[in-house]
Amino acid sequence: MSRMQGGKISNTTLREEVFNILLDDATESPESGKYYTFEYDPKFADNLKEWDEYPVVYAMEFKKDNLIAANIHYIRTTNARLKALNNKRFPKKTLRQYIPKRADSIFFEIQESDVGLLSTLPLEKFHYNR
């Protein structure tokens, strides 16, 4: 990432760089109690009012092979995000159900020591259906 300092960088390039850095901690089987980011294509994308293609989540539990997680990107301000991360208490509006098979088969684990920084980077890509 040091080679990108001082210059303009697109969100896509930043996201790719973050994914490359996190590649060593990637897994196909996410675990509860950990943070992840991944590329996601919802099964019913056309029916959703909005969805995030690159969520940063706290994995909470599994129900019927689906991951229940808090997507940090649904907390709009940096201070509120950091407060939620520090307390591991996430607003109801952040809770989402993810089908792991729809997550490009790879989850990039984010170490707890790095999640505060990564939560402030513009990694999200929201899609809206109106």
pLDDT of residue 6: 65
Regions of the chain short of the pLDDT cut 70: 1-6
Q: What is the pTM of this model?
A: 0.91
Q: Which two tokens stand for residue 60?
A: 């909470």
pLDDT of residue 41: 93
Q: In the beta sheet, which residues pair with residue 110?
A: 35
pLDDT of residue 4: 55
Q: Which two tokens stand for residue 92?
A: 């109801």
pLDDT of residue 113: 95
pLDDT of residue 104: 82
Domain coordinates of the chain in residue numbers? 2-128
pLDDT of residue 130: 79
Q: What is the 3-state secondary structure (H, E, C) of 40-106?
A: CCCCCHHHCCEEECCCEEEEEEEECCEEEEEEHHHCCCHHHHHHHHHHCCCCHHHEEEECHHHCCCC
* CA–CA gap between residue 54 and residue 71 (Å, rounded): 10
The per-residue pLDDT of the chain, averaged, comes to 92
Q: Which backbone phi and psi does 43 adopt, to 5 degrees?
A: -60, -40
pLDDT of residue 102: 86
